[in-house]
Structure 1
């Protein structure tokens, strides 16, 4: 059973303003085994002290018609909230140049689940040889102990989900780093976002 939640954060004027910190002590690093192989790692970006990721937004290029060069997932933003669910900042690492930002989704405020994300799962298309590569296409972010306590945005359908990352040691996810392939030019095969690492803080 998949749960999709969308609700407004407080401080709506901050939405669209991306600002985090480049360094924060973290307790654990979350990785998955199926990330795409192309591109370079961007800078680590963290929520301000006392806040953690409680929402996210994706930059997605819709499937192209007539055999275009698809890139699918291009970027991930995390919305950093404090214990009172006040929005503190919006953070992102490297982002590809194609597509548009989706609406944002956030965790529920129910007392029996975490307000913060604690694990993730990545949907990735394996290398296609002479075909069109897209690499990472979607992500699920987990916020509670049950199998269905996760949020997934609708994105491209290519590829498969791999295993879940480990679960946070600490309070919740507090930062991210993305691996993005730069534009390959008119004759190349663009893939944009390939992989992501999440960081967990106390």
Structure 2
């Protein structure tokens, strides 16, 4: 009897560990060739750098949250702040969104800059990300250029989420809004490190809508 109880206890422990690991897991697979319905852009993105690859959420999932890689004081380069360096989309399926279960998600990103730290994830209280707005600083001449500083999204449930980036520049116009389901992919424009020159990192971004 004691042996049976011991076996059952061991099984419960093992099962508990598996649930804990799976709950904390963040699937890394993505659907590079996933079909998208609409490309979202804004007209005032920065002009430097080149476009990285398009990265898509796994099939059946959509972006319900995001996090940013931001370069700012006190850990920025002295005299050369690059502000927004990267954007990650965090993707879940429709059932997880409905039940507000955010523990099992996939993270996708396009190219990112070399500086900064990742912020905490901001999640839609309900629904998925479906449009975005970019804060961009115009070229500063002899001053320190930062290009894109932060991003904001609307959620299909009606909420507005603004990223924890820096605050230089101007908000332009909103992108179009996804017709159908939600944002499911991202592509970013990044300027490579300039050596002794002025670095700007992330300049522009595109989002993609899937049914």
Same fold (TM over 0.5): yes
Q: Using the alignment, how far apart are the partners of 1:89 and 1:103 within structure 2?
A: 15
- Structure 2 residue aligned with 1:133: 145
Indicate if the aligned counterparts of 1:18 and 1:92 stay in contact, CA closer than 8 A: no
Indicate if the aligned counterparts of 1:117 and 1:172 stay in contact, CA closer than 8 A: yes
Are 2:191 and 1:181 aligned?
yes
Deviating above 4 A after TM superposition, structure 1's stretches of 4 or more consecutive aligned residues are 64-67
Does the residue aligned with 2:184 lie in a helix, a strand or coil?
Answer: strand
Does the residue aligned with 1:84 lie in a helix, a strand or coil?
Answer: helix
Find the partner of 1:107 among 121, 124, 129: 124
Give the RMSD, CA atoms, in angstroms.
Answer: 1.8
Q: How many residues align?
A: 183
Unaligned runs of 5+ in 2: 1-21
Find the partner of 2:206 among 183, 197, 202: 197
Q: Deviations over 1:19-42 (max 9, x none)?
A: 422111010000001100000000
Indicate if the aligned counterparts of 1:127 and 1:135 stay in contact, CA closer than 8 A: yes
Unaligned runs of 5+ in 1: 1-9, 110-114
Higher helix share: 2
Q: Using the alignment, how far apart are the partners of 2:136 and 2:107 within structure 1?
A: 25
Deviation of residue 66 (structure 1)?
9.3
Deviation of residue 145 (structure 1)?
6.9
Deviation of residue 67 (structure 1)?
5.5
